[in-house]
Structure 1
Amino acid sequence: MPAETTRRRGAALEADLLDAAWAELKAVGYTRLTMEGVAARARTGKQVLYRRWPNRAELVVAALRHRQGGSITDQVPDTGSLREDVLAVLRLMAERQRDIGQDVVHGVLAEIGPMRAQVFEIMRDVMATLLERAAARGEIPTADVPPRIMTLPTDLVRNEIVMRSEPLTEQTMSEIVDDIFLPLVTRRA
């Protein structure tokens, strides 16, 4: 009697697709990554991928989140210190950049399209949460800071990741937090 094959559905199917996307990305790199290649690796049709992710950039972002245990919003740190919370977020960004590599970062940013606004909004929400907690603890006078100041650390790290070929250092992240960000938010009345 032949073994019965079960059809993958729901979360199990999505996990298999994201695992296949990650494996394909590591095998061929971002430049040569195709939806067809991922579909073949996942033993499915490419239409199954396109129903969930309209392009390879969004697929790669989803695969990274799957591999890393979720979005950064699922891992907002709460160390009890604004400085350490912001550094933890920046370290997570740097770790993700190291995990996927510079070529993937550049490729995804070039192709992300409409999802770009969502990515920036996520970081604004993360930073707003950190500032609200810090204000509640009395570390800063108010969490009500202009959006450009709110996202300054993440924007500067994103710039470092995109513009430089070497990995982000702890010193660079500390300078961003200590010399630029904290002076701006601690003296706002």
Structure 2
Amino acid sequence: MSEHSDPARATRRSGEELREAILDAVRGELFERGYAGLTFDGVAHRAQTSKPVIYRRYTSRAQMVIDALIRSSPADLPAETTGSLRDDLVALGTALARRFEQLGIHTVRRLIAEIDDDLLPQLAELASAPAEKALLRTLGDARARGELPAEPLPDRVAMLPLALLSHEMLFNGHVDDAAVTDIVDTICMPMLTRTHHGGSATD
């Protein structure tokens, strides 16, 4: 028996049920075959639907992948504080590194290469929004504990941990625990905990 189901035996579904079946199939194909091996035909077989059904919903492979990953990505970020800014930053950085390792540098780079202007907001939601929300919560908790100055941090300073992690991921292709700890201890903590003046607040 083939690992793919025969589309002729596809179950009739519509709406959210069909969308979830397609997105589950996209994630399955992505993690088993990689971005290069992901095709509309493979997704259709795995989802037990037809290619025309998928083409009506998605115009590109990148659009399918971004939609599938957005639906599954936020849950693995830390939801609670450790009581320490330093430890919270390490926990967040480690979670982001694990997500990146699971997705893989080749998938990330191919997504960036294939997206068009219409997909940029979705890519930003996938790559930045959940991480920024978690970071801002971390900084707010640290300020409430007195670990950060009372005055707001400038935007670029507040987002520094994510910028450094993103650089490490995209240009080195890998982020291990030692790199996360080094980024937090040698750059982020000294920069975030010093007193700043001016700038607009994002946190």
RMSD: 2.8
Structure 1 letter corresponding to 2:166 = R
Q: Name the CA shift for 1:159/1:101 in 2 (closer, same or farther; >3 Å).
A: same
Which residue of the other structure, out of 14, 20, 25, is the alignment partner of 1:15? 20
Q: Name the CA shift for 1:93/1:53 in 2 (closer, same or farther; >3 Å).
A: farther
Structure 1 letter corresponding to 2:23 = L
> Which residue in 1 is equivalent to 2:74?
71
> Which residue in 1 is equivalent to 2:61?
56
- Structure 2 distance, partners of 1:143, 1:18, is 44
- Structure 2 distance, partners of 1:143, 1:49, is 50
- Structure 2 distance, partners of 1:72, 1:145, is 27
What do the CA deviations read for 1:64-101 (whole angstroms, capped 9, x no partner)? 455xx541687444222111211111111111122122
1:32-181 correspondence runs (5 A) = 32-46=37-51, 48-49=53-54, 55-66=60-71, 70-71=73-74, 75-112=78-115, 113-114=119-120, 115-118=122-125, 119-142=127-150, 144-165=152-173, 167-181=174-188
Q: Report if aligned partners of 2:164, 2:183 keep a CA contact under 8 Å in 1.
A: yes
- Structure 2 distance, partners of 1:53, 1:78, is 38
Q: Name the CA shift for 1:9/1:63 in 2 (closer, same or farther; >3 Å).
A: same
What do the CA deviations read for 1:15-52 (whole angstroms, capped 9, x no partner)? 32222112222343212322333123212234544565
Structure 2 letter corresponding to 1:80 = G
- The alignment partner of 1:179 has SS state of helix
Q: How far did 1:181 drift?
A: 0.9
Structure 2 letter corresponding to 1:93 = L
> Which residue in 2 is equivalent to 1:29?
34
- Give the count of matched residue pairs: 182
- Structure 2 distance, partners of 1:45, 1:142, is 57
TM-score w.r.t. the length of structure 1 is 0.79
Q: Report if aligned partners of 1:77, 1:88 keep a CA contact under 8 Å in 2.
A: no
- Structure 2 distance, partners of 1:95, 1:83, is 18
Of all paired residues, the percent bearing the same amino acid is: 36
- Structure 2 distance, partners of 1:183, 1:51, is 51
- The alignment partner of 1:78 has SS state of coil
> Which residue in 2 is equivalent to 1:182?
189
Structure 2 letter corresponding to 1:150 = A
